[in-house]
Structure 1
């Protein structure tokens, strides 16, 4: 099966600090072309494009052509999976902290 589009796990996509910075950048801006994104990083256009591709494969970024320019936009919906996962552990640790506090107070 020769499929050029591969769906990526959102956790894999956000594991890299460069991609997390890209997500933050796109969260602040409505939509950005590659030539405005690239100067924000200490790497070339090709490397940024590869990171954006990984984010696209995780459905975290969408793009559209505007003339010869490709513009990128954040799709935050897949981040809900991360939020839900973190929320479980936040509750887990809050309960553990309460138990520890109760033990220490006794």
Structure 2
């Protein structure tokens, strides 16, 4: 299942990591995790990565989160995300909900 994952780094921790080895730790984690897409933004005054990842099972979440927690003291939010094809497949369930509750 695809997830949109927002990873925010405390300013002090990110500054220290950048001074130590540039962006090597971020590059290393991304090479290991192979997200479908990765974007970097400023959010709430913190350096933030926004990733699209495919997570096969809930037990895969620690493998995704722990490198960011340990290397950059990051906070992480993960939200399930659908492709247009996924939304199309969900159509009958949405229609049924409308009939029942709408």
TM-score by length of 1: 0.28
- Give the structure with the larger strand fraction: 2
Higher relative contact order (CA 8 A, sep 6+): 2
TM-score by length of 2: 0.28
Larger Rg: 1
- Give the structure with the larger helix fraction: 1
